[in-house]
Structure 1
Amino acid sequence: MDPLKALADAERKPYWLDSPAKPEPLARLFGETSADLAVVGGGFSGLWTALMAKERDPSLDVVLLEGRRVGWAASGRNGGFALATLTHGLPNGLERWPEEISTLERLGVDNLDEIGEAIARYGIDCGYERTGELHVATEPWQLEEMNRSVDIARELGARFDVLDAEEIRAEVNSPTYIGGHWDRDGCAMLDPARLAWGLREACLSVGVRIYERTPVRTMKDTPTSLDLLTPHGLVRARNVALGTGVFQPLLRRLRHLLVPVYDYALMTEPLSADQLASVGWQNRQGIGDAANQFHYYRLTEDNRILWGGYDAVYYNGGMIKPEYEQRDETFVKLAEHFSTTFPQLSGLRFTHRWGGVIDTCSRFSAFYGRSHGGRLAYAAGYTGMGVGATRFGANVMLDLLAGTRTERTELRMVKEKPVPFPPEPVRSVGIQMTRWSIAQADLHQGRRNLWLRTLDRMGLGFDS
């Protein structure tokens, strides 16, 4: 496959958002209003928070404020993997909260079950398929790393099938696979933009007031409310939930805990029946490889292949700019890797190429907290695995705002915060050194250099 030829006609926009199902925008906020709960951010985090606040107490007056359009950012640009993990994978959870891992795994599976139930209850058409996920190895060292957690996963109740090269190629036919696992229950595939739009409609149906194109500029603490100032209006809220991800936070403390990383993806044209037969993939699992710089990929409802990952790019200074959403160097690299993985699909063309910013933190999984005397709650830092975990985070925020002790709020994972990032320019130097070291590890049978081993000892290691 000539990558430049395959990419020649690819539109520079997110595939999921380029859809006739995209709803018309809702009105901006003009003037002053009040609310029991104001939710800031119209991605999955904010949508789940608003919806479940009304489910808990239908009498609450809930307002959701979105600076642009519901689902336009990370929630509409991701791969559509709704994962059960709340800890960015079992190994990360075992490393950080070993005494809680059984509870965290159970809560994660319950959360994913409840996502499916909510999608059915509200009739959200988002292509939801509980297919599970294949974890594939392309190098012997990757298989060794993967096998270390199999027994623990099974003891915790996961249905993990261990597959040799022949068995995994019978599921999905790639000459690069040497083995892997099938996590049968821990992943559902969906169209993320249609989920966001469906949650928007569900929120409206239960009485949430949503204002799009209404960014919150500042927040003022008064004796009786938290006042959110927007370009054309003001919301006086008794409580506030922040679901803004990595974008300009209303809390200064979050600026030291989050950094923006850009992720990139391609979408192919639909596969013909013969092309699909050459790949197999009859069980339609999501797939992720086991390299440090990993790829994730999946089938859409009309049998396109989304192919993303590998490059996770931090731009020095931590800036967020629209021009960063397109990176031809990465798109060409992804197209080359696609051709290596599926040589039988030579000649297949890509229809879309895009990127987007995600929020990450030093522990690579979400963190939570509250401020302003318990009247404001936040959840952030999902590191690319927020399609499922944001619903759990929404429940945590609502628990914190209610001031009640729950199983969720008593978790050490919920009570603790990640280690802050250093200020610039040290931050950029450290992140770029880590990215380089991770790439070197992939080239040297997974061996981690002194820098990565030092981060591991500090509890800052990243291996997925």
Structure 2
Amino acid sequence: MNYRSVSLWLDQAAAAGDPLQPRAGLDGDLDVDVCIVGGGLTGLWTAYYLLKARPMLRVAVLEAQIAGFGASGRNGGWCSALFPSGVEAMARKHGLDQALAMRRAMNETVDEVGRVAAAEGIDCHFERGGTIELARSQVQLERVRAAVEADQKLGGVDGYQLWDVVETGERLRADRVVGAGYTPNCARIQPAFLVRGLAEKVEQLGGLVLEQTAALEILPRSSAGGPRVRTARGTVRAEHVIRATEAWTSQLPGARRTIAPIYSLMVATEPLPPEFWAGVGLSRGETFTDARHLVIYGQRTRDDRLAFGGRGAPYHFGSRIRPDFDQDPKVFAGLRQTLNGLFPALRGFGITHRWGGPLGIARDWNASVGLDRFSGIGWAGGYVGDGLSTTNLAGRTLRDLVLQQETELVQLPWVGHRSPNWEPEPLRWLGTNAGLRAMTAADAEERLTSRPSVAARLMSPLLGH
């Protein structure tokens, strides 16, 4: 497979000298202390922290393709404190103190990623520029204002600020902007450099990264022995098995309704000239979005491209994942149109990269991490596209769970959470795609009525808000 074509990020990794050649795979049966299924950021952070804490542990990471092949090497490069469940929703379930503890842990995780990258010499272009959420209508501005006020009532845990047009223009200049929200809790990064660099560090610490080794089945502890992972190349037996497969969880026997794989697609422009950036800004590593309902996200890359993505691609019946789903000309055209609307000066400049991939969504939109000591199987995922930093928190938490360390991390409210299963087909296909269309309709409704969308309000409880 031409891994270079998977995303801009992997293409840049290859250009920087990474051959993207698969490591050796499993060669027969293997016994280890911890077997991690999935060579993305969740699996590699878990292996990294375990080996830093206990260098003598035997840790193996199994990856079906190469490290960073999944969402870890395709995402928007936002190392943010975003979590799919909002503070209010989490407070209703777990109490305000627990909800705020989760928010603080997420904020601190952004800095932890930067700390490790610097300490380990991983140049992943980490720059903590925060996130600018543009408001391009009065309805959007009021939505941003409400979020800022809600944060202030909670003591400013997320550091939200409300900017007027002038303040916004000092950092980012886009068309039809009437204000913005800003949070400092986000860093711009090159995700493939992070995940590929982390894989090398895991190997240097003594871990095994076994690529081209797809897990066919994860089996719990039984009378026959501890948990194990069956592959076409042999069986791995371990004291603990960690499932870190995110969207691909839906392809495992016994877990097909655990996670719904939803596609998010991206485009990247050619490197843009200084005069373009003089008119736009984004000079401090800021990421950006706006306050529409259908999610968009972007960043200015170190080589002066705009990397920009959004939701809107359909969910595929039966939770199918196929390479051709990474390409959707209609969605790519919509992303280009949205970019041109934000930055009219982009007209005339080319798009050089188009890519996409599946992200994992739990039925209640609540990411989770945990370890079942009876079965010996741990897990983390359901990040809803906000996993670039959450994977780090998951890795540290799984370390503490495996090593039976009673830390603040294992007391956080997402630990041990069990989301309900998704509905069987065709209900899953009907409901998921109806939700995607509802968000598109909500944005159109607000443009027409200049009032908050009724459709969005009805959907809000279903999205973890």
TM-score, length basis structure 2 = 0.90
Which amino acid in 2 is paired with 1:141?
V
Deviations for 1:232-257, whole angstroms, at most 9, x for unmatched residues? 22222111111011214587564323
Q: Are 2:84 and 2:384, in contact at CA under 8 Å, matched by a contact in 1?
A: no
Measured at CA, do residues 454 and 96 of structure 1 come closer, stay the same or move farther in structure 2, by a change above 3 Å? farther
For residues 17-32 of structure 1, what are the structure 2 equivalents within 5 Å? 17-19=10-12, 20=14, 21=16, 22-23=18-19, 24-32=21-29
- Which residue matches 2:426? 425
Which amino acid in 1 is paired with 2:151?
A
Measured at CA, do residues 454 and 281 of structure 1 come closer, stay the same or move farther in structure 2, by a change above 3 Å? closer
- Which residue matches 1:460? 462
Q: Alignment partner for residue 99 of structure 2, among 98, 101, 105?
A: 101
Which amino acid in 1 is paired with 2:180?
G
Measured at CA, do residues 267 and 96 of structure 1 come closer, stay the same or move farther in structure 2, by a change above 3 Å? farther
Which amino acid in 2 is paired with 1:65?
L
Deviations for 1:343-392, whole angstroms, at most 9, x for unmatched residues? 12221111000111110113324112334615110011001010000111
Measured at CA, do residues 12 and 453 of structure 1 come closer, stay the same or move farther in structure 2, by a change above 3 Å? same
Whole-angstrom CA distance in 2 between matches of 1:434 and 1:166: 36
Aligned length: 449
Structure 1: gaps spanning 5 or more residues: 1-10
- Which residue matches 2:132? 134
- Which residue matches 1:113? 111
Q: Are 1:31 and 1:234, in contact at CA under 8 Å, matched by a contact in 2?
A: yes
Measured at CA, do residues 77 and 142 of structure 1 come closer, stay the same or move farther in structure 2, by a change above 3 Å? same
Measured at CA, do residues 96 and 189 of structure 1 come closer, stay the same or move farther in structure 2, by a change above 3 Å? farther
- Which residue matches 1:244? 245
Identity of aligned residues (%): 29
Which amino acid in 1 is paired with 2:24?
A
Whole-angstrom CA distance in 1 between matches of 2:300 and 2:344: 17
**How far off its partner does 1:312 sit?**
4.4
Structure 2: gaps spanning 5 or more residues: none
Q: Are 2:372 and 2:378, in contact at CA under 8 Å, matched by a contact in 1?
A: yes
SS at match of 2:463: coil
- Which residue matches 1:195? 194
SS at match of 2:99: helix
For residues 7-156 of structure 1, what are the structure 2 equivalents within 5 Å? 13-19=6-12, 20=14, 21=16, 22-23=18-19, 24-87=21-84, 90=87, 93=90, 97=94, 99=96, 100-154=98-152, 155-156=155-156
SS at match of 1:131: coil
Whole-angstrom CA distance in 2 between matches of 1:355 and 1:250: 18
**How far off its partner does 1:41 sit?**
0.4
- Which residue matches 1:396? 397
Whole-angstrom CA distance in 1 between matches of 2:343 and 2:272: 12
- Which residue matches 1:269? 270
TM-score, length basis structure 1 = 0.90
Whole-angstrom CA distance in 2 between matches of 1:62 and 1:254: 24
Whole-angstrom CA distance in 2 between matches of 1:198 and 1:322: 25
**How far off its partner does 1:141 sit?**
1.3
Q: Are 1:43 and 1:71, in contact at CA under 8 Å, matched by a contact in 2?
A: yes
Which amino acid in 1 is paired with 2:10?
L
Measured at CA, do residues 258 and 448 of structure 1 come closer, stay the same or move farther in structure 2, by a change above 3 Å? farther
Whole-angstrom CA distance in 2 between matches of 1:153 and 1:395: 27
Whole-angstrom CA distance in 1 between matches of 2:251 and 2:352: 37
Which amino acid in 2 is paired with 1:150?
V
**How far off its partner does 1:88 sit?**
5.2
Computed over aligned residues only, the root mean square deviation of the Cα atoms, in angstroms, reads 2.3
- Which residue matches 1:6? none
- Which residue matches 2:349? 348
SS at match of 2:151: helix
Instruction: Tell me whether 223-232 or 398-407 shows the greater mean CA deviation.
Output: 398-407
Residue 205 (1) aligns with residue 207 (2):
no
- Which residue matches 1:7? none
Whole-angstrom CA distance in 1 between matches of 2:28 and 2:405: 34
Q: Are 1:38 and 1:62, in contact at CA under 8 Å, matched by a contact in 2?
A: yes
Whole-angstrom CA distance in 2 between matches of 1:217 and 1:416: 25
**How far off its partner does 1:92 sit?**
5.5
Which amino acid in 2 is paired with 1:25?
P
SS at match of 1:103: helix
Q: Are 1:224 and 1:238, in contact at CA under 8 Å, matched by a contact in 2?
A: no
Measured at CA, do residues 385 and 443 of structure 1 come closer, stay the same or move farther in structure 2, by a change above 3 Å? same
